[in-house]
Copies of this chain bind each other. A is one copy, B any other.
Amino acid sequence: MNKTEMKTTTMRGRPAITDAKRQRMRNEIANIAKQLFQDEGYTTISMRRIAREMGCSPMTLYQYYNAKIDILRTLWSDVFNELFDELEVVSRTHTNMLHCLGITYVQYWLDHTEYYRLVFMTDGVNQSDVSTFIDSPELVQRFSVFALAISGSFSEKIEPEELKLKLDAFLCFLNGIAHNQITISGYSWADPDKMVAMAVSAVTD
């Protein structure tokens, strides 16, 4: 029997915050933080600063998020959902699906480098990474558009382990293209679309 269930019976003491209220507060914090992170960068913005903008004390933020990094994590999922919405549109409207998916995926990050930095380049040295939420079931589910596109590009049925290899490699290649363009921006990279084309043929041949 957990606390939310206890709520139904009468209880002494100040009542715990409603789930709805809690969620509204989380959203408010996330929205303010998103704006600040995008404008001035994750490391530049402090919890004290977010609190000031919220009109609360710094420690109140910890009532709604375990840590500063957790606020960022919430923003990550928003970003991914937007991206995958685009990808699903592509998967329904294009015939040479894989190539278009690749282009869309890479181009999305190149068009939103600040998001890319938010998701894949959070302060390097500590060990908290993106995988904790990439592993969330609903996101794993979303990645299946790539798997379907790959298996769809073959006439005969493809073995699961070979599909996994192709899928993983394809995702690595796409991320690598985006990542190098963004992090090594001083170097004049070859056309991303052509590199995506190479990634596609590596997976479909």
Q: Which residues of A contact B (CB under 8 A)?
A: 41-44, 72, 114, 117-118, 120-126, 129-132, 134-135, 164-169, 171-177, 179-180, 182-187, 189-191, 194-195, 198-199, 201-203, 205
Q: Determine the chain B residues whose CB is within 8 A of the CB of A122 once the complex forms.
A: 121, 123-124
Partner of A131, one of B42, B135, B183, B195: B183
Are B129's CB and A186's CB within 8 A? yes
Partner of A171, one of B120, B130, B180, B203: B180
Are B195's CB and A123's CB within 8 A? no
Nearest opposing residue in chain B for A42, CB measure: B125
Partner of A134, one of B165, B171, B187: B187
Partner of A43, one of B42, B123, B182: B123
Q: Determine the chain B residues whose CB is within 8 A of the CB of A183 once the complex forms.
A: 120, 124, 129-131
